[in-house]
Structure 1
Amino acid sequence: MKKFLVSTLLMFAAAAASAQTAVDTLKDFVRDVKSGRAEFTQTVTSPDGAKKKTSSGKFEFSRPNRFRFTYLKPFEQVIVADGQKVWIYDADLNQASSRKFSQALGATPAALLAGGSLEKDFDLAAQPAKDGLDWVEATPKAKEGSFKSVRVGFKGKTLSAIEVVDAFNQRSLLQFSQFVANEPIKAETFVFTVPKGADLIEQ
């Protein structure tokens, strides 16, 4: 009985240590990783789990407040934050839109990567390890928003996944591969020029 109690306590202690490490890993990432690039696959699942949409592309960011998602499949789309505005361009529609950075982000998942105030905007809680990753849940402190929660998954110290549940219980999973931290990225990567002939919607 004593052995069982001791082993159980050790398991809880190990889990607690792992949980603390996962939260610290996210804090360290936000503090220490100033830029990076990766490839990604995004899977969006409907609230009932019945429908799934998959897309893929490249992701780059540079703190503070600059990032670029380039969707390549199945449709071409670009999302660029240049530090002042967030631009979205849909190649099929030949349509671009823009919003002020502060309005577009706030306490959103992108703020985690772009240099938002992590502990000011989010409550952090470690989650059980799953699929070989250590997970942290970040719940926005703001009561009104476009999403309920975001989970960030790390493999060791490497960012591997972000899972977002929006206000309609739609789930979006971004899985990163070939992530390179603190990679020098050219400033023009985060400059968006509206293509000739494209419609522009400014909000």
Structure 2
Amino acid sequence: MSKSWNMRLIRPLAAAALLLAAAGAARADAVEALRDFVREAKTGRAAFTQTVTAPDGAKKKSSSGSFEFARPNRFRFEYRKPYEQLIVADGQKVWIFDADLQQASARPLAQALGATPAALLAGGALDKDFNLSNLPSAQGLDWVQAMPRDKEAVFQSLRVAFKGRTLAAIEVVDSFGQHSRLDFNELATNVPVPAEDFRFVPPKGVTVVE
């Protein structure tokens, strides 16, 4: 085999190897971006849009609102459209308040949180609670799969997306096959977040279930 033939063979192989190495590095960066987010983002706020798709893929529901968190284990999801709902974790309990129903419910944090997407965003035990693996980039985003170590988790799969080093989206498939996606916008981390945002006092006349 001639030297020129060797070079014609080696060059494309070397180029392919470099491309594969670069792709692997990009996916590894997504895992590190998630770890960095959990480690370094002590507080944060963002707007979000949520899309829920039925298991058959035929029905979709959209909602939007705002999200805030402060580590450890304090967060606030405030849904504004198409209906109002508030989910608040104060570090001890998780409250859910439906304004239309005038009903509030509460559960101990340890029972309500577990290895959930909220725990991933606002908790601190990332590698303790989840097995992380890299996924191929898609939709212009770098994706990480986070599988719960708890065998009794209430969802089948959880994927987290970053655009560069910025949290962009979370996708969840629950135990019934329902698909939920949260897209985050205007994310700001390590910003002042009022402590009272994570306190919930049931309004007068509201039915409380604990």
After TM superposition, is the score higher than 0.5? yes
Q: Does 1:57 align with 2:65?
A: yes
Q: Does 1:103 align with 2:111?
A: yes
Rg larger in structure: 2
| TM-score, L = length of structure 1 | 0.97
Q: Does 1:149 align with 2:171?
A: no
Q: Does 1:6 align with 2:8?
A: no
Runs of 4+ in 1 over 2 A off after TM superposition: 1-4
**Equivalent in the alignment of 2:167:** 159
**Equivalent in the alignment of 2:184:** 176
State the 1:120 CA deviation.
Answer: 0.8
Count of residues paired in the alignment:
202
Computed over aligned residues only, the root mean square deviation of the Cα atoms, in angstroms, reads 0.8
| TM-score, L = length of structure 2 | 0.94
SS of the equivalent of 1:27 reads: helix
- Letter matched to residue 101 of structure 2: L
Q: What does the per-residue CA deviation read over 1:158-199, in whole Å, with 9 as the maximum and x for residues that have no partner?
A: 111111111111110000000001111110000001011111
Q: What does the per-residue CA deviation read over 1:103-131, in whole Å, with 9 as the maximum and x for residues that have no partner?
A: 00011111011124111110001111111
**Equivalent in the alignment of 2:4:** none
**Structure ranking higher in strand proportion:** 1
Alignment of 1:68-147 (within 5 A): 68-147=76-155
Decide whether the 8 Å contact of 2:103 with 2:206 is kept in 1.
yes
% identical equivalent positions: 62
Decide whether the 8 Å contact of 2:71 with 2:124 is kept in 1.
no
Q: Distance in 1 between matches of 2:130 and 2:117?
A: 10
SS of the equivalent of 1:173 reads: strand
Decide whether the 8 Å contact of 1:112 with 1:118 is kept in 2.
yes
Q: Which runs of 5+ in 1 are unaligned?
A: none
